[in-house]
């Protein structure tokens, strides 16, 4: 098969089209003929040499695919309600940038009715991540207010639409007025251009001094101290990336007097059973919202897979809004 491999660690040019053996589905797995592969920021971090594949997983980049099941563990497929020929999208721990990819059967979800395979490929990584962090971890409730840092990211556009559809009020930050407008168009109630406005002051003004209930944070570093100041009583910060650095110094007194929680998680290395539980929630509670049009994939650009380097260069330019996808 053809695949995009890392010829080393470095800039986008290390992503190279190569030929390698087809993977073989093991116990519990299916083999997918890939039509499209989603691009995620963790792929960029892996390419730079800072996010290795978990032990036993493919060294090829790529955390999500959509395509057709062409082989697999018959018993696992039956238990998951899958069959040869089904069109699915799947979360994988690596190996997504390839014409064929193996995935645990329990991490496959049907292509939502009405969506193309390119659109379906843009879903798994951000929906699994956002569901797990906003609902399973931070316990975001209808009526609560959510602050999404990086609202125009692939993660951000998912968080805005999901939280909106489930009845939360949403404030986002983004790095340009155009990105702020795109977030408002997707359903955010307020957007803060963090390059021209102080998000702490803005959140206080928007919430009448109460603060937000949950912060979805992909920056960390010195943002944590400022987010602590943005939280309402019983507020929660959930950290999913450390783009602003790993060191944070914050007002611990506020954490106790206001009963705050600071948590975080990373999805890729979690066991299959953990991801299967998220998949069941997505299928029951989120796929219907996609199929009735309440939530739409937001695709900024589609590249032929051979142009994966250009796709990464676009992501690193931070010009995109939503997702970037590779097509095979």
- Interface residues with ligand NAP (CB under 6 A)? 40-42, 45, 125, 129, 149-150, 152-155, 173-175, 179, 194, 218-219, 240-241, 243-244, 265-267, 315, 318
Q: With CA atoms as reference, report the closest residue to 191 among 204, 205, 202.
A: 202
Q: Closest separation between CB of residue 189 and ligand NAP, Å?
A: 17
Neighbours of 79 (CB within 10 A): 12
Q: Closest separation between CB of residue 173 and ligand NAP, Å?
A: 5
Residue (75 or 198) nearer to ligand NAP, CB: 198
Q: With CA atoms as reference, report the closest residue to 315 among 181, 171, 108, 150.
A: 150
Residue (280 or 319) nearer to ligand NAP, CB: 319
Q: Evaluate whether 295 touches 165 at the Cβ level (below 8 Å).
A: yes
Q: Closest separation between CB of residue 32 and ligand NAP, Å?
A: 20
The angle at the Cα of 161, spanning 91 to 293, to the nearest 5 degrees, equals 85
Separation CA 300–CA 288 (nearest Å): 23
Residue (28 or 42) nearer to ligand NAP, CB: 42
Residue (40 or 99) nearer to ligand NAP, CB: 40
Q: Closest separation between CB of residue 174 and ligand NAP, Å?
A: 4
Q: Closest separation between CB of residue 175 and ligand NAP, Å?
A: 3
Residue (139 or 244) nearer to ligand NAP, CB: 244
Residue (33 or 229) nearer to ligand NAP, CB: 229
* Contacts for 78-83: CB closer than 8 Å, 24+ residues apart: 79/105, 80/105, 80/106, 80/108, 82/30, 82/108
Separation CA 224–CA 247 (nearest Å): 9
Residue (164 or 179) nearer to ligand NAP, CB: 179
Question: Is the four-CA dihedral 59, 63, 64, 69 of positive or negative sign?
Answer: positive
Residue (100 or 164) nearer to ligand NAP, CB: 164
Q: Evaluate whether 218 touches 153 at the Cβ level (below 8 Å).
A: yes
Q: Closest separation between CB of residue 21 and ligand NAP, Å?
A: 28
Alpha-carbon radius of gyration of the chain: 19
Q: With CA atoms as reference, report the closest residue to 157 among 126, 202, 178, 134.
A: 126
Separation CA 48–CA 10 (nearest Å): 5
Q: Closest separation between CB of residue 245 and ligand NAP, Å?
A: 10
Q: Closest separation between CB of residue 224 and ligand NAP, Å?
A: 12
């Amino acid at each position: 098969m053809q695949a995009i491999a890392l010829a080393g660690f470095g800039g986008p040019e290390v992503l190279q089209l190569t030929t390698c053996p087809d993977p073989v589905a093991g116990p519990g797995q299916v083999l997918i003929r890939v039509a499209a592969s989603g691009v995620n920021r963790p792929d960029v971090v892996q390419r730079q040499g800072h996010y290795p594949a978990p032990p036993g997983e493919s060294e090829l980049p790529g955390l999500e695919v959509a395509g057709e099941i062409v082989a697999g563990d018959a018993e696992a497929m039956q238990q998951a309600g899958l069959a040869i020929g089904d069109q699915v999208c799947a979360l994988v721990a690596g190996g997504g940038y390839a014409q064929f990819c193996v995935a645990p059967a329990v991490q496959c979800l049907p292509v939502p009715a009405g969506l193309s395979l390119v659109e379906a490929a843009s879903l798994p990584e951000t929906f699994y991540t956002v569901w797990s962090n906003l609902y399973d971890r931070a316990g975001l409730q209808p009526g609560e207010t959510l602050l999404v840092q990086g609202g125009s990211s692939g993660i951000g556009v998912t968080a805005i639409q999901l939280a909106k559809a489930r009845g939360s009020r949403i404030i986002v930050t983004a790095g340009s007025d155009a990105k702020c407008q795109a977030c408002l168009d997707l359903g955010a109630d307020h957007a803060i251009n963090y390059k021209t406005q102080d998000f702490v002051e803005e959140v206080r003004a928007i919430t009448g001094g109460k603060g937000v209930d949950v912060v979805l944070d992909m920056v960390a570093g010195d943002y944590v101290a400022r987010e602590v100041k943005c939280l309402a009583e019983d507020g929660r910060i959930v950290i999913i990336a450390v783009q602003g650095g790993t060191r944070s110094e914050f007002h611990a007194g506020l954490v106790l007097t206001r009963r705050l929680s600071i948590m975080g998680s990373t999805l890729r290395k979690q066991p299959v059973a953990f991801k299967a539980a998220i998949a069941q929630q997505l299928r029951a509670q989120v796929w219907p919202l996609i199929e009735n049009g309440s939530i739409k994939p937001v695709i900024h650009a589609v590249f032929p897979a051979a142009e994966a380097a250009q796709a990464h260069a676009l992501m690193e330019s931070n010009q995109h809004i939503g997702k970037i996808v590779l097509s095979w």
